[in-house]
Amino acid sequence: MSQTAPESAVRRLADIQGRMARAAARIEGLAVPTLVAVSKTFDAEAITPLIAAGQRHFGENRVQEAMAKWPALKAANPDLVLHLIGPLQTNKAKDAVALFDVIESLDRDKLARVLAQEMQNQARPLPCYVQVNIGAEAQKAGVPVEDTLDFVARCRGEYGLEVIGLMAIPPLDAGPYFAKLADLARQAGLDGLSMGMSADFETAIMMGATQVRVGSALFGTR
C-alpha cells in the first residue's frame, strides 16, 4: 500500500477545501460541492488523520480492497459515507451493497438488475450515479451518451433504483466534457454531478459539479 505523511494529508485537505470554496465563489449562486476523498491504494493509517480532521466522504474503486480496510473504519465512525467509484462485477454486487453507501459506477442493465435485487435483499436502498462514457473512449467504462437518458429512465422505472446523478471520467482536456455531462444531467432531471479529479476539480466546480473525487492531490502519488 502507498504511504503518505499524515500531517501533510491534513494540510492538503485544508488547501483543497480552500481551492474548492474559491472555485465555487467565482460563479454566482454556486454551492461548494462535496469532496469525496479517493483513498484507493492508501491504507487505514493514511486515512485515519483525514477522518479525525472531519472528512466524511471517501471513494474506493475496488470492492476487494475496500473490504480489507473500511469495515473497521466505518465501525469506529458510523457517519462515514463510502462511495464505490470503480467498475463493479455483478458477482461482487452483494459485498458492494453491504459495504458501500453510494454506488457511482452503474453502467449497464445487468448490473442495475442485480444491484436492485441485492438492495432489496439487504434492505439497503443505496443512492446511485449512472456512469457516462462522456468522451466516447473505447478504454473507459460508462453508458454511451446517446443511451444515457433511456438507461436512467430504466434504472428508475424498471429497476426502481434511486438514481441521484451522473458520474464521468472525461478525457484529459475535460472542460467541454464537464459541460456536456451537466447538460445531460439537466435533460435527465438529475441534480447530482460527480465530476472533477485532482487535476481539474476547480474547472468541474465552475461547471456545476455537486461532488468532486480527489485522490492524489490529497494523499500523494500512488
Task: Identify the helix (H) or strand (E) that includes residue 117.
Answer: helix 109-122
Minimum CB separation of residue 206 from ligand PLP in Å reads 17
* Distance spanning both ends of the chain, measured CA to CA: 9
Q: Does residue number 203 form part of the binding site for ligand PLP (CB under 6 A)?
A: no
Q: Does residue number 170 form part of the binding site for ligand PLP (CB under 6 A)?
A: no
Minimum CB separation of residue 169 from ligand PLP in Å reads 5
Nearest to 39 by CA among 56, 15, 20, 19: 56
The correct pick among 38, 132, 182, 205 for binding ligand PLP (CB under 6 A) is 38
Measure the CA angle with vertex 194, ends 193 and 195; round to 5°. Answer: 105
Stretch touching ligand PLP by CB under 6 A, among 17-25, 122-130, 173-181, 195-203: 195-203
Angstrom distance (rounded) from CA 127 to CA 97: 11
Q: How many residues bind ligand PLP (CB under 6 A)?
A: 14
The correct pick among 154, 198, 203, 206 for binding ligand PLP (CB under 6 A) is 198
Nearest to 203 by CA among 214, 219, 189: 214
- Asked if residues 185 and 213 have their Cβ atoms less than 8 Å apart, the reply is no
C-alpha cell at 171: 478525457
Helix (H, G, I), strand (E, B) or coil at 214: strand
The correct pick among 169, 182, 184, 205 for binding ligand PLP (CB under 6 A) is 169
The correct pick among 82, 161, 197, 207 for binding ligand PLP (CB under 6 A) is 197
Q: How many CB atoms lie within 10 A of CB 75?
A: 9
Stretch touching ligand PLP by CB under 6 A, among 65-73, 92-100, 121-129, 214-222: 214-222
The correct pick among 4, 55, 61, 133 for binding ligand PLP (CB under 6 A) is 61
C-alpha cell at 115: 444491484
Half-sphere exposure of residue 199: CA atoms within 13 angstroms, side-chain side: 8
Minimum CB separation of residue 198 from ligand PLP in Å reads 3
Q: For the window 63-102, what string marks contact with ligand PLP as x by the rule CB under 6 A?
A: ----------------------xx----------------
The correct pick among 33, 142, 170, 215 for binding ligand PLP (CB under 6 A) is 215
C-alpha cell at 22: 474559491
What residue ranges bind ligand PLP (CB under 6 A)? 38, 40, 61, 85-86, 169, 197-199, 213-217
